[in-house]
Homo-oligomer: A and B are copies of this chain.
Amino acid sequence: MTEQPSSFAIGVDIGGTNTKFGIVDKRGNIWYQDRMRTTDHEQVGTFVEELHEKLQPMIEKIGGIDKIKGIGMGAPNGNYYKGTIEYAPNLKWKGIVPIAAIVHEKFGIPAILTNDANAAAQGEMMYGAAKGMKDFIVITLGTGVGSGIIVNGQLVYGHDGFAGELGHVTVIPDGREHWGTGMKGSLEAYCSATGMRLTALELMEKYPDADTPLRKLKAEEIDSKAIYDAAMQGCGLCKEVFEYTGNILGLALANFVMFSSPEAIVLFGGVTAAGEMLIKPTRLAMEANVLPIFRNKVKLIFSDLKEADAAILGASALVWE
């Protein structure tokens, strides 16, 4: 790597299972990084203690805390305005957790929090596929569906800091019930990895005579990767899962386009490993459902950041904002 820059940011990605963190310069080079288990900590206090312990040697190597401009953090249900994680279903810390204040106290430098999908969007804008764009939307397709929206070069937080919950918009009124929220027909109910698995199970039940390698698997082994692998081997039912998922995703994206008219929609997360298999039906459905003035204008692209790096980069990017 080149000459050492004069200042750095810490990026922390708090996930349900693991927390990744690193020291990053403004150009997006990750100088040091490590990870720890989020689940080891019943309380946020000991979590921040371990985070500090693990980061301390890295901070010293880089030249001390004076070189660090701040700590950016991405977390599920993270609220930017308040610096709190609020009622995150996938974390052990219950209620409202003032994590930015605790981290600020412990490290003695500014701490900024946002939700994980917003951090991803910030990272894409500074270092990724959306570099230089002022209007775009990141959709994270993993166990759940998240989103980060950029308008006029800024993250959209809304009046309360909770904007961008596009996984929970209703796409099919009275459609599939969501296992967590109880709401019907949401984007996440269909287009998350969990949703795709349910679609596969539904199709297997609907077409009991359809021959598919999925039948050789236990129910719990049927996941988006297994569906993709089978589709690549020519399984018609699995291809239909992707058609179905892409149809619904594209319809939802069309609605988002008519809201904020983004230059691009960046897809990110585990489900995107399916590549063209997913993006082809998605693009067709998106174009079919927008007004003519939006047609063939919006780029539908995959993130080109490595997933592990992207989370740290995105969180660190909050500091330079």
Give residues in A with beta carbon < 8 Å to B: 86-87, 133-136, 149, 151-152, 154, 156-166, 168-173, 181, 183, 251, 254-256, 258-263, 289-291, 293-294, 297
Of chain B, the residue at the smallest CB distance from A261 is B158
- Please measure, in the bound complex, the distance between the C-alpha atom of A289 and the C-alpha atom of B184, giving whole angstroms: 9
Which residue of chain B has the shortest Cβ distance to A294 in the bound complex? B162
- Within the complex, which residue of B86, B171, B256 is in contact with A259, where a contact is CB–CB below 8 Å? B256
> Contacts A162-B293, A289-B183 given: A261-B168 contact, CB under 8 Å?
no
A253 to B: closest C-beta gap in Å = 11
Copies of this polypeptide in the complex:
2
Q: A159-B262, A259-B259, A261-B159 are in contact. Are A165 and B254 (CB under 8 A)?
A: no
Task: Give Cα A68–Cα B170 distance, bound, in whole angstroms.
Answer: 47
In the assembled complex, 20 residue pairs joining A and B whose CB atoms fall closer than 8 Å, in A order, are: A86-B293, A135-B159, A136-B159, A149-B259, A151-B151, A151-B158, A157-B261, A159-B263, A162-B294, A163-B259, A164-B261, A165-B258, A165-B293, A168-B258, A168-B290, A169-B254, A169-B255, A170-B255, A170-B289, A172-B173
Question: Given A169-B255, A173-B171, do A261 and B162 touch, yes or no (CB 8 Å)?
Answer: yes
B-chain residues with CB within 8 Å of residue A158 when the two chains form the complex? 135, 151, 260-262
CB-defined contacts of A289 to chain B, threshold 8 Å: 170, 183
Looking at A159, A164, A170, A290, the one whose CB has the most chain B CB atoms below 10 A away is A159
Q: Which residues of B contact A255 (CB under 8 A)?
A: 169-170, 255
Contacts of A162 in B (CB 8 A): 261, 293-294
Measured between alpha carbons, how far is A154 from B156 in the docked complex, in Å? 11
Known pairs A164-B259, A254-B170; A154 contacts B152 (CB<8 A): yes
Give every chain B residue within 8 A of A173 (Cβ-Cβ).
Answer: 171-172, 251
Q: Give min CB distance, A276 to chain B, whole Å.
A: 24
User: CB distance B259 to A169 under 8 Å?
Assistant: yes
Chain B nearest Cβ from A286, distance in angstroms: 11
Contact yes or no, A151 B160, CB < 8 A: no
Residues in B neighbouring A183, C-beta threshold 8 A: 289, 291
Which residue on chain B has the smallest CB distance to residue A169? Answer: B255
